[in-house]
Amino acid sequence: MDAIEITGGKPLHGEVKVSGSKNATLPQIAAALLSPGASIFRGVPDLADIRALGRLLSHMGARVDREGGLLRVDASAVANPEATYELVKTMRASVLVLGPLVTRFGRARVSLPGGCAIGARPIDQHLKGLEALGARIELSHGYVEAKADRLRGAKVLFDLPTVTGTENLMMAAALAEGQTVLENCAREPEVIALAEALNGMGGRISGAGSSVITIDGVSALRPMDIEVIPDRIEAGTLLMAAMITGGDVLVRGAKADHLDAALAKMREAGAKISEESHGLRIVAPQKPHAVDFITAPFPGFPTDLQAQLMACLSIAKGASRVVETVFENRFMHVQELSRMGADIAIDGHTAVVRGVANGRPARRGHDRGAARLPP
Ligand code: UD1
């Protein structure tokens, strides 16, 4: 889709079902590399990042088939544990193949992800962790080359909670010899979903969802057959779409315990949100109140919902203060909101959003030639 045209001014009403989580599916597909045989994934969203990871695994020799929401990945014939720059540059999460490859095949060559629109996003914590497990890591010509006979369990203390870093290390440690203890881990629901998938493959992982995860390595894993968890970012986005239009929407599949921080802020802004048997229902206020919020690793307010809540606040009553602490360059949407009439001032990691009466329509892309919609 090259362009999306929105005719605004109508409150959203009705029901909508949330898709499977992209950020939960990506590490689980990477985990299929840990075992020969066919892993099955159900409820997989049809997104560019999922297709990119599928291409990456096919390039290594895996068989990847898709039929609707069902994805089948057979990693029996993987012969080429390499992820080239051409494949990695389209999606940073490709780095998730590093841990599984080095622990199962004893070697991996994975391109560094390179620059990223929302900041430098280094992978030093992934590499430090793999080295602690005994991998020999070399960086050459933009590639990470990792080698190991068999990884050995160790204690790893992350400098900061990293989601894909925690996931990479969990996967590597699953086939390592002995016990690994990961400290200062990311606590996101996607980390828990990966631990459950690995345990379903015969792994021995405990503590996911807390900051300390213990992994007792096993000598082999079997393929998995799993249902993908609902996408909490999509769910939050849909709730905020209802909020910004003053609507009344039931988001089927939305889980309150995945969205506590976002729901608290939406309630503070005046929304009524109730848990129903199949999801979350939001009844939006006529106009939201201003609220201050700060992004943080889970269970804090997710950086991936910062732009959406800021859009709501740009038409709220009063001034809100938004602080972004997870990524250093994640206010790219501000310029676009300003073009639609928002009043937002940025100072470093802080944005002050003064609510305006109503946004005005704006175009992005057409009037700027090659400009693209944000990811
Ligand atoms: C994941 C999510 C992404 C979300 C982000 C933060 C996936 C596929 N993507 O990204 O949607 O925005 O979590 O919730 O799950 N960092 C380091 N060194 C490292 C790793 C990370 O300094 O080795 C820093 C990053 O630059 C960033 C912070 O840690 O400032 C958090 O990043 P991280 O949790 O790793 O994000 P991703 O896993 O890439």
Element (H, E) at 204: strand 204-206
Options 48, 70, 116, 256, the catalytic residue = 116
Q: How confident is the model at residue 122 (pLDDT cuts 50, 70, 90)?
A: confident
pLDDT digits (tens, 9 = 90+) for 9-37: 899 999 999 999 999 999 999 999 999 99
State the pLDDT confidence band at 114, using cuts at 50, 70 and 90. Answer: low
pTM for this predicted structure: 0.94
State the Cα–Cα distance between residues 127 and 123, nearest whole angstrom. Answer: 7
Instruction: Give φ, ψ of 52 to 5 degrees.
Output: -65, -40
**Who wins on pLDDT, 182 or 371?**
182
Domain 22-216 annotated CATH 3.65.10.10: yes
Determine which residue's CA is closest to atom 9 belonging to ligand 1.
23
Q: How high is the pLDDT of residue 370?
A: 34
* Alpha carbon 177 to chain centroid, angstroms: 29
- pLDDT tens digit string along 147-161? 999 999 999 999 999
Instruction: Tell me, rounded to whole angstroms, the distance of Cα 331 from its chain centroid.
Output: 18
CATH 3.65.10.10 assigned to domain 13-18+230-354? The reply is yes
Sign of the C-alpha dihedral computed for residues 244, 248, 252 and 257 taken in this order: positive
Mutational test site, ligand 1, from 326, 328, 331, 332, max ligand atoms within 8 Å of CB: 326
Average pLDDT of the chain, as a whole number: 93
pLDDT in tens, 240-267: 999 999 999 999 999 999 999 999 999 9
Question: Is 185 one of the annotated active-site residues of the chain?
Answer: no
Q: Give the residue with greater pLDDT, 119 vs 357.
A: 357
Position in ligand 1 atom list of the atom nearest CA 327: 30
Q: Does 326 sit in the ligand 1 pocket, CB within 6 Å?
A: yes
Q: Where in the chain is the domain with CATH 3.65.10.10?
A: 13-18+230-354, 22-216
Q: Would you say residue 359 has pLDDT above 70?
A: no
Question: Mean pLDDT lowest for which of 1-5, 214-218, 259-263?
Answer: 1-5
What per-residue confidence (pLDDT) applies to 125?
95
Q: What is the pLDDT of residue 372?
A: 33
Q: How far apart are CA 146 and CA 132, in angstroms?
A: 12
pLDDT greater than 60 at residue 47: yes
